[in-house]
A and B are shown apart, each in its own frame.
Chain A
Amino acid sequence: GAVVSQHPSRVICKSGTSVKIECRSLDFQATTMFWYRQFPKQSLMLMATSNEGSKATYEQGVEKDKFLINHASLTLSTLTVTSAHPEDSSFYICSASTDAPGYTFGSGTRLTVV
C-alpha cells in the first residue's frame, strides 16, 4: 500500500531556530499533501494543504510566514517552522491523498522547542 515517510520523528531545538520536517511519498505521487498539528489528547488540526508546484493553502489562524510549506516535487513536501518558540512545541503530522479512500499519514514529528 501507499507509504508516507516523515522525518525526523523527533526533534529538539533552541528557541529562535528553524526546523524543517520532510514528508515523502515512497511509492506513489502525491499531488496533494496535508499538514496537521496535534496537541496532547486533541484531534488533528489541519494547518495547510500543499499542492505540488503551487503555493500552499493555509487554514485560518495559521501563520504562513511562520510555517513555510514547500511542495516542489510530486514525492516531497516540507514544513519549516521558522523562529520556533516553546508554544510551537507539538506533534506535526503530514498526510497524502492517494487513489484509495482515506488519507495515508506519516508517522509524525514531535517538536520540542526549549
Chain B
Amino acid sequence: QKEVEQDPGPLSVPEGAIVSLNCTYSNSAFQYFMWYRQYSRKGPELLMYTYSSGNKEDGRFTAQVDKSSKYISLFIRDSQPSDSATYLCAMSVNTGNQFYFGTGTSLTVIP
C-alpha cells in the first residue's frame, strides 16, 4: 500500500465551479499536510500548509484535514483557467522529515 493515495484525474471543470481534490494516507503519524501546485514543466510551488487536523482558508482555497479518517482535501472556489495545473498533496511526520507525495491530480478549468 502506498503511503499516500491521490486520484490522478484528469479533472475538467467549467470556470467558476467548485473543485474538490482529495488524498488519503495510511501513516497515522503524519502531522504536516501540504498542497502543491505544479504547472507544466515547472517545479511545484507550495499552495497551502496545514498542521494536524482542521481547516485553513486562503482566498479561494480551503484545505481540510481529517486525521481520524486519514483524509485531506483541497477546495478551490470560483475556479479560474489559471488554476489549471497538477495539484500534489504531500505530508510528513515532522517538517524536517521526508515528505511523501501523492501522484498529483491534473486539473483543467475550461473558460
Contacts and interface: CB of A to CB of B under 8 A. Distances in A.
Contacts of B88: 43-44
Main secondary structure of the interface of A (DSSP, over half): strand
A103 interface: yes
B44 A93 contact: yes
A45 B34 CA distance: 16
**Size category, B interface:** 20 to 34
A32 interface: yes
Contacts of B96: 32, 97
A71 to B, nearest CB: 16
A25 interface: no
24 contacts: A4-B43, A42-B103, A43-B88, A43-B101, A43-B102, A43-B104, A44-B44, A93-B43, A93-B44, A101-B32, A101-B46, A101-B51, A101-B95, A102-B36, A102-B49, A102-B99, A105-B36, A105-B43, A105-B45, A107-B42, A107-B43, A108-B41, A108-B42, A110-B41
Point out which of A43, A44, A95, A103 has the most chain B C-beta atoms below 10 A from its C-beta.
A43
**Size category, A interface:** 20 to 34
Contacts of A97: 95-96
B106 interface: yes
B98 interface: yes
A46 interface: yes
A29 interface: no
A107 B102 CA distance: 19
Interface of B: 6, 8, 32, 34, 36, 41-46, 49, 51, 88, 90, 95-96, 98-99, 101-104, 106
A89 to B, nearest CB: 14
Contact of B106 (A41, A105, A107): A41
Contacts of B98: 46, 49
A91 interface: yes
A97 B98 CA distance: 10
